[in-house]
Every structure is written in C-alpha cells, then in structure tokens.
C-alpha cells in the first residue's frame, strides 16, 4: 500500500493468482501515486494515507461493493491488517505471524496464516511466495516478479532510451539513479557526480535517470556531468519499468540505493549494483538477494567490505562502487 518497493515485491502473488485462476479478478488497495503500476491488471481501491480517518470509510465501502472472495495481506502491519478486515472477504490470508512488523495486528485481520518460507524467509518476496504456495498449492506459480509489460510498453521504453543521444563507444548503459535528498538511504549527489565522471573516463555509456522527486538533483547533475546522458524528472511508473527493461536487454546495469527503483530494476531483469546503507539487503534489498551466489545483482558495501554492515550510506566511496562496475 505504502511503498513502491513493497508493491513490486508483491508481484509473485499476482502471477500465481493469474496462473492458478485465469478468470479471477484482482483488486489492489494502494496509494494513488503508485496505482498506475498495477492498473493494467488490477482494479484500484485508492487509499490516500494523507486523508486521515476519512480515507477508511471510503475504502471499506468500495471494497465491500466489489465483494471479494479472498483478501491477501502482503504487508504485515496495522494499516494492511485493518484494510484486510474491512474488505469483508470470507477468506483472509497473510504470511506467518512471526514475520509481521506489528504482530498483534494479525489478530485484527483475522487471518489464516501461511507456513513460513523454506529459505530467505525474512524477505518480502519469500513471504509473498509462501502465501501464493499456500493458497494455490503450487509454489512454482509464484516464480515471476516482473510487472507484466505489454509489447507496446516495451517498445515505448526502447524508444525513450534510443532518443537519448551521446557518443560513448559502448552500446550498453550504466544507469545512475540518485535518490531523494534527505532520505538516509540516499547516496550523496556529489558521489554520484564523481562516479559518473570516473565511468565516463573508462568509456562507459552513462545515463543519469531521475524521477519527479529527484528532478532538482537531476538538473544539477546534468550541468555538472555534460558528457553523460540525462533523463530528468522522468514520470510514469510503467515507463520507468519499460526504460529499465530496455537497459537490461542491452546488457546494462544500474547503480542505486535500496529504494523503489532498485526493486523495479530487479523485477525487469536489470543487474543492480546496490549502494548499501543502513538497511539490511536480505530484508529489503532487490530480489534475487544480492547475497545469493546465483543473483545478477551485486552489493556495494562500505570500505571495501565483502558483506553488509549497518553503516551510513555516505561511508560508501566511489572506489567501492567502481569495484563492482565491471560486468
């Protein structure tokens, strides 16, 4: 409901439901700013958390008018528990009680809990897959995590990427995605600037990609690193998926902190170079886990370390990032 990354990581449930019950209608209680990501395959029940207490009666009314047969809680907190209860669905399921952020809230939802995942159990994707296996009886149906891009969307993403002109020798892209200023997960803008310059010196094809929340940073980087390509203030979550899908198909990579765009990139198969900050990537990082031997993603921990430690993201140096830049 509340975060882009959480929505992306819930996609295995969507794939499992579509595979198990092709005729099923899917609804999604979601904040309005994230609704475009799931609109092509789900009925939207907007929940504006800024609306205060008035948002709840509207959400309850709309969900009950739809009359769901089953509600799945893929968040494990108070807000999702209340939403699950208000849906009025006769069947309500969620992941194991021990994995809830706020365990007492599970009682409010009145859930039948899925068994714990066999492995990587702390990560939201693993937890969502455990629900999918529980309700469908087939864990294999929840293997996919992609956002169901259409051929038209894929072509649009490819076109947007092809419209960016610069003269690097490489055909593949290295995308740099600065985060929102003030977020403790955000790598400093000056570090992104220095990384871009170093990558250009090595002959890399560099693209700075920023959304509306990072537009000011994007404009500053555009002036500071004119040798790179820039997509500043890019709008549209489906377009973001499509652009990153095009980068992935061109054997690219992305440097990004633990944020929504990192999960979007991973969901479309783009190798993530995760700039590690205070949050544990085994709980909140992209999927497959950056610690897995089979993952295309790589962790960028601070100080040349080989494993994550809870340190401020500013401790990650440009040299740390360059150490994982070679594909």
Instruction: Give the whole-angstrom CA distance, residue 55 versus residue 74.
Output: 20
Banded model confidence at residue 50, pLDDT cuts 50, 70, 90: confident
Look over the chain and give the mean of its residue pLDDT values, rounded to a whole number: 91
**Rg (the chain; Cα; Å):** 20
Q: pLDDT digit string (tens) for 108-134?
A: 888 999 998 876 668 999 999 999 999
pTM of the model: 0.94
Q: Do domains 4-142 and 151-322 have the same CATH topology?
A: yes
Q: pLDDT digit string (tens) for 52-81?
A: 788 999 999 999 999 999 999 999 999 999
Q: What is the pLDDT of residue 149?
A: 98
Q: Which of 88-102, 157-171, 193-207, 268-282 has the lowest mean pLDDT?
A: 157-171
With 80 as the cut, is the pLDDT of residue 24 above it? yes
| Fold classified for 151-322 | Rossmann fold (3.40.50)
With 70 as the cut, is the pLDDT of residue 169 above it? no
| CATH code matching the domain that covers 4-142, chosen among 3.30.70.600, 3.30.200.210, 3.40.50.2000, 3.40.50.300 | 3.40.50.2000
Characterise 230 by phi-psi region: left (phi > 0), alpha (psi -120 to 50), beta (else): beta
Kindly list the domain boundaries of the chain, sorted by start residue.
4-142, 151-322
Q: What is the pLDDT of residue 1?
A: 67
With 60 as the cut, is the pLDDT of residue 168 above it? no
Mean pLDDT of 297-324: 82
With 80 as the cut, is the pLDDT of residue 51 above it? no
């Amino acid at each position: 409901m509340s975060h882009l990354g959480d929505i992306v990581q819930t996609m295995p449930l969507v794939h499992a439901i579509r595979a198990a019950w092709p005729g099923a209608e899917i609804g999604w209680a979601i904040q309005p700013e994230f609704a475009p990501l799931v609109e092509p395959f789900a009925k939207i029940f907007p929940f504006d958390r800024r609306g205060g207490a008035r948002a709840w009666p509207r959400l309850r009314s709309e969900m009950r008018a739809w009359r769901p047969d089953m509600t799945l809680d893929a968040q494990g907190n108070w807000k999702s528990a209340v939403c699950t209860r208000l849906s009025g669905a006769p069947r309500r399921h969620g992941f194991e009680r021990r994995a809830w952020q706020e365990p007492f809230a599970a009682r409010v939802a009145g859930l039948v809990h899925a068994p714990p995942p066999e492995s990587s159990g702390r990560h939201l994707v693993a937890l969502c897959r455990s629900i999918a296996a529980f309700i469908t009886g087939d864990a294999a149906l929840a293997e996919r995590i992609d956002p169901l891009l259409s051929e038209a969307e894929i072509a649009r993403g490819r076109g947007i990427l092809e419209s960016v002109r610069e003269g690097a020798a490489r055909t593949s892209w290295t995308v740099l995605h600065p985060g929102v200023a003030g977020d403790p997960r955000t790598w400093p803008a000056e570090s992104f600037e220095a990384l871009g310059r170093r990558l250009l010196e090595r002959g890399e094809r560099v693209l700075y990609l920023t959304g509306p929340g990072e537009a000011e940073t994007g404009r500053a980087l555009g002036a500071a690193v004119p040798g790179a390509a820039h997509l500043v203030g890019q709008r549209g979550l489906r377009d973001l998926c499509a652009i990153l899908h095009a980068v992935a198909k061109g054997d690219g990579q992305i440097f990004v902190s633990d944020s929504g765009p990192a999960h979007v990139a991973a969901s479309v198969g783009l190798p993530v170079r995760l700039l590690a900050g205070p949050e544990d990537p085994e709980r909140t990082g992209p999927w497959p886990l950056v610690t897995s031997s089979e993952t295309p993603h790589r962790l960028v921990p601070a100080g040349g370390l080989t494993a994550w430690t809870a340190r401020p993201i500013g401790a990650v140096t440009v040299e740390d990032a360059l150490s994982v830049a070679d594909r």
